[in-house]
Chains A and B, each alone.
Chain A
């Protein structure tokens, strides 16, 4: 009896929080912005789903505990109802009192949306009923066994994702002569009811079948002889390379533009990952290196820059990278003896100083002040390249994509090799405990400088590609938000993890580019991602194994293993 009473109390307090979260989502404007996107045309929009998510999730959470069926379901229902009461009350209040001069998003269209285009009082009742139902559904999801829950959730995610991709899928399907598929899937910028059911079914069945297929495949590979295994690995790698090379052709020009941004940030994140993920130095001024790379490239290659030498990109590149490494050393050297959090703030200061200097009138003769530098030639000196046999025409983003892919692959290989080398182990030791590392003979100063210089070089490489891609550089591009975006990518993916970087860049750069409405709330989401990841999953989505152990080492004494055992005294000086 007492257990269920406390569960109900918990349901009420969680319900209040859920209601507050829903009101926040409405007032901050994100719900209405997404209500323009149909998920299932005529049935539900993305904004509506967004508003439905909190009571669903909270209902699931509150009903997870307990043994008896009835109190758990009642708790979910109660929680939903409480949150519904809050939303309903707010709706009635906002319809009666005009608060638009304070909360600018509370507009008549928003209120109409909230009230399901009904009268405010009817709308309030509908909200109450809907939220209660959602809380109950969440509770049901917690009650049913996971072999039912998992396919259902995967199916819903599938429907949402496919409907979000509509603006890109539809034209591409048409290009590839698959108009029938496109006509079946989409009506009025969303899925039709029938196609939603089909998509749901495909994803649900997929989520049941996929683990079995994978397990069987893995078992067969494991049983095969070493020669065959090597062949399989080779073929997989080859397929991956072919896929990456063909990607811009499959994706089309708009998505290629998105891919270029994803690639650019992947490159930056690979560089920062060396500094933050490997060496454990939180650098908030990473944008400085990006800016230096861009400006150096522009100065050296643009015929109308203050230098006016107009070197070809590939000749300028070594100079740029060298310049970047030197900048990294000069910024790194003074700050190395600082403690972690001070180092973060100092590098942030350096980043801002760099931006302000590039912007200033004082250095206008060199960097052009607010006007920046124009006339940066494209990467290969020409605007268009035709690939002989395949007949591809590479221009704009598709032309930038290939060198960028090349740089990303190089950076990823270098980073991986470093990670498992003597240098990587020294960084590892340094990150875990600087004093102990020093005592075991790691030359902390030199290894920190090395991390800074390497990170700076990769950042500069990103800057160089960026300058040629835009054909110009402007100081406004290089603000602190770039540093924080790159940091968010690393945190989301998992510090020190290279697949994590790619996933992070896809989620944080690719998604906002695909969902234009999202762009406005991008920074809000980045902030939320940083906080939530640190609270819930500090090791990131695709964690690095060593890192994960570090963050969860409270349980038991960890073994030194392969990573700790090989620390021999490093040479001095």
Chain B
């Protein structure tokens, strides 16, 4: 069964996330980021940040809710039983700090098929309250046996 490419270009409603210092600490603890700048406001300010700063991979916390409707969209048609997260790219901009409000918008950038596998590529862009881009992300899901 060929993949349905009609959803290419489709955009989804943006999702807003308010960043808090305790969430940054919880995330930093879970992934083993031990730096003071992720926990202590004075240390973060001394290093030139507005407030406690998130590790780069904190992007998953504020952007996944914007991706979910795209990945779950019946028009995209992903078969979850055989889906794997195939690849990921993040390009970082302004650092994300406690007190920031991050808005993320997701879209479908490509759907293709090769060797019986479906490749579903999504892009998301996140900006802060000043309109500065904080991350641009490319999410690739692979589905076997399309």
Q: Do A and B come from one complex?
A: no
B interface residue numbers (CB < 8 A to A):
none
A interface residue numbers (CB < 8 A to B):
none
